[in-house]
Amino acid sequence: MTDSGIENLLKEERLFPPSQAFASTATGTADLYEEAERDFVGYWTRQAKERLTWFKEPTEGLDDSNAPFFTWFADGELNISYNCLDRHLDQGGDKIAYHWVGEPGDTRTITYQELSDEVNKFANGLRSLGVEKGDRVAIYMGMVPELPIAMLACSRIGAPHSVIFGGFSADSIVDRVNDQGAKLLITCDGAWRRGTVVPLKDNCDTAMEGTPSIEHCIVVDRTHSDVSMEQGRDIWWHELVADQSTDCDPEVMNAEDLLYILYTSGTTAKPKGIMHTTGGYLTGAATTHALVFDIKPDTDVYWCAADIGWVTGHTYIVYGPLTNHTTSVMYEGTPDFPDKDRLWSIVEEYNVSIFYTAPTAIRAFMKWGVEFPDGYDLSSLRLLGTVGEPINPAAWMWYRDHIGPVDAPIVDTWWQTETGCIMISPLPGVTATKPGSATKALPGISADVVDIEGNSVPLGSGGFLTITKPWPSMLRSIYGDDERYVSTYWSRYPGVYFPGDGAKIDEDGYLWILGRVDDVMNISGHRISTMEVESALVSHDAVAEAAVVGATDDLTGQAIAAFVTLRGTFEESDDLHEELRNHVATKIGAIAKPKSIIFTPDLPKTRSGKIMRRLLRDISDHRTLGDVTTLANAEIVQAIADQAEAQQAKE
């Protein structure tokens, strides 16, 4: 758990109520809290019926008879792509779904009608390859329009998709594809990143040597790279869709049919395949998208600057905005290419009114300097959002002062891959915000902060965040591992969902998220497990043992600090330091590269052999060392601390 949240809580007294003008037209109003308080199932059922188009309306709300395997709207039938596309076409087919901006500067404007045509053609293409309802499809792509098209096409034919972040390595693809037994893989020849091409198809080729379930690989020609295409297995996207019809009957799905699997890091080396189903997920996505972002579909240009490889992109680039008939911006590249003003030039050009990004990005903007946003007219912005990690008040205030007009509400949204949609956040026309606090649970969501025994803590104290009632877009299980689902989320406090975060509740009942309380790190708003990085390190010949902790980092929230013991014949060197960092990138992906590696003859351990990561965290954060009396090898701690200091001095 980081200290920054506690500091926020101690110091923060600023309160920013919504302006009168904003409140008077707000989509989300205070009475929603009362409605949901009276009958939370009734509230969600109303949202489900009003916001979605059902082939068969549900008569059931929540079924908790087999907890924690909850179901929502279980007798309802619908199709997600129908909700995102078909039902908008009569009145609004010409409306722009995506203003897409490519990193090299090319652009595409895609209307709802065009999106629908492309989705139908690709869905027919998938069917022609034998993909049927229930078959799993893995997707490993850059931020190109074909990515949402692929997801929607899968949802149209009832094939659950599993998007694998394009920054992950071939090994990560193998693990995820094999865990779910995916039948088909969709990729691009490459992805643009800071002017160079990330070789996505090459990574897939390496991965497919170890994924026997994959029958075909469909490849989008994005970068015109020279890639190898295996006859019979690999198919170009444009060739597959060339002769397909723009009509493809949507599969009638049960509300509880699987929509997607998205892998996220847990406390072991094996990522968890989080399962989201159809009716409840879309209800949560559409409702929170409309309320938290105050969506006015006729006038807003909305931009969630996340990657679709993470849950934020699933819910708030694809499913929420399209269900709500919103016009979005989608950008392919990084914020600093070709220069650090890229995002602001896009905001100005498309008159973006709602902008949603991560605190890490905001801290980078701060570091780069106000001259970049100051050079642009950002007056179209009327609401700002953040997600993924605690935001320090300084970054919050900078966001307010330099990006939005100062009276634009900032919504700090807490949620997880598992929750499917935003859980704790201001309602922008109702909630007075405090910099650094995600404020309160949304209508229909019940959150509490409890002590180790599960008792609610009094206002003004800290403890563990819990969600005390089921909600429609909750995960249904971990793919293939119901037991892990129960033990990870539902065992610490029986009957209550445990997200793994620490939190404080202040005198006004505002929630302050303090960070993870387990061995999961949060790097730039992305979850990485210490165990995953440790097992990547020990898979290198030179490494005997490794321990990894999240060290506090001004820019990325946390940074990966590794402590490594080498095998007998290996000697530490700068080259080996680099080699090990790159080895982790090869095993997992560049985001998991340790920032620092300290070589040590031993790791601090208890007498029973358990590594004391707490002490390594103290060392990484330059804190006074905690209690070492329970250690079997207390002397090693000071030796590591000295080495860390020497390494820092060298840098």
Binding site for ligand PRX (CB under 6 A): 264, 311-312, 387-390, 412-417, 438, 499-501, 513, 515-516, 522, 526-527
Answer yes or no: are the C-beta atoms of 119 and 149 closer than 8 Å: yes
CB of 418 to ligand PRX, least distance (A): 7
- What CA–CA distance (Å, rounded) separates 491 from 495? 8
Answer yes or no: are the C-beta atoms of 601 and 640 closer than 8 Å: no
Answer yes or no: are the C-beta atoms of 145 and 99 closer than 8 Å: no
CB of 393 to ligand PRX, least distance (A): 13
CB of 143 to ligand PRX, least distance (A): 17
Query: Which residue, 444 or 550, has its beta carbon nearer to ligand PRX?
Result: 550
- What CA–CA distance (Å, rounded) separates 315 from 368? 29
CB of 315 to ligand PRX, least distance (A): 8
Query: Which residue, 102 or 500, has its beta carbon nearer to ligand PRX?
Result: 500
- What CA–CA distance (Å, rounded) separates 87 from 95? 13
- Asked if omega into 435 is within 30° of 0 (cis), the reply is no
CB of 9 to ligand PRX, least distance (A): 13
Query: Which residue, 146 or 389, has its beta carbon nearer to ligand PRX?
Result: 389
Query: Which residue, 1 or 197, has its beta carbon nearer to ligand PRX?
Result: 1
Answer yes or no: are the C-beta atoms of 547 and 534 closer than 8 Å: yes
* DSSP annotation of 19: P
Query: Which residue, 149 or 438, has its beta carbon nearer to ligand PRX?
Result: 438
Query: Which residue, 116 or 466, has its beta carbon nearer to ligand PRX?
Result: 466
CA-to-CA separations, 615 to 251, 304, 517, 569, in angstroms, rounded: 54, 38, 15, 28
Q: What DSSP element (H or E) covers 361?
A: helix 359-368
Query: Which residue, 360 or 600, has its beta carbon nearer to ligand PRX?
Result: 360
Query: Which residue, 438 or 474, has its beta carbon nearer to ligand PRX?
Result: 438
3-state secondary structure of 30: coil
- Asked if omega into 338 is within 30° of 0 (cis), the reply is yes
- Residue of 482, 493, 484 whose CA lies nearest to 517: 493
- Residue of 68, 173, 178, 168 whose CA lies nearest to 480: 178
CB of 554 to ligand PRX, least distance (A): 16
The per-residue DSSP string of 106-121 comes to -EEEEEHHHHHHHHHH
Answer yes or no: are the C-beta atoms of 87 and 111 closer than 8 Å: no
- For residue 407, the tally of other CB atoms under 10 A from its CB is 13
CB of 274 to ligand PRX, least distance (A): 8
Query: Which residue, 125 or 444, has its beta carbon nearer to ligand PRX?
Result: 444
CB of 448 to ligand PRX, least distance (A): 16
Query: Any idea what the Cα angle at residue 320 is, between residues 319 and 325, rounded to 5°?
Result: 100
CB of 268 to ligand PRX, least distance (A): 16
- Residue of 455, 466, 486, 484 whose CA lies nearest to 423: 466
Query: Which residue, 501 or 506, has its beta carbon nearer to ligand PRX?
Result: 501
CB of 506 to ligand PRX, least distance (A): 15
Answer yes or no: are the C-beta atoms of 371 and 378 closer than 8 Å: no
Answer yes or no: are the C-beta atoms of 628 and 605 closer than 8 Å: no
- In the bound state, the residue with its beta carbon closest to ligand PRX is 417
CB of 414 to ligand PRX, least distance (A): 4
Query: Which residue, 412 or 534, has its beta carbon nearer to ligand PRX?
Result: 412
